[in-house]
Structure 1
């Protein structure tokens, strides 16, 4: 999707928790499609989660912002 970001992802401080927090601070709604407000299921072994449209757009926006 964004080769510029993918080639240099390690230079950015985008962790699951920092991305979650920046989204929560903007009060755009739930993170997951089923209405969850965290990605905690990943910590308990879930290998798949469906993101809400708003959260997915937020993540893409963060990647685009740093990759120009």
Structure 2
């Protein structure tokens, strides 16, 4: 069974890669290092709620803007 850290990390990775975003782009927007985001995605670190919301909002907004331009 996946831990909470593994679960949220897997969601972030799936959303990030599905959006075609790099670790660098998301980490930069979140104001953190690529290494930290990578560890979150692998379930090694459990992110704060604020960090997770910031990352997920960025990915979601990016996706919405990308889909809006394609329409």
TM-score band by shorter chain is 0.3 to 0.5
TM-score calculated relative to the size of structure 1: 0.42
TM-score calculated relative to the size of structure 2: 0.40
Higher helix proportion, which one? 2
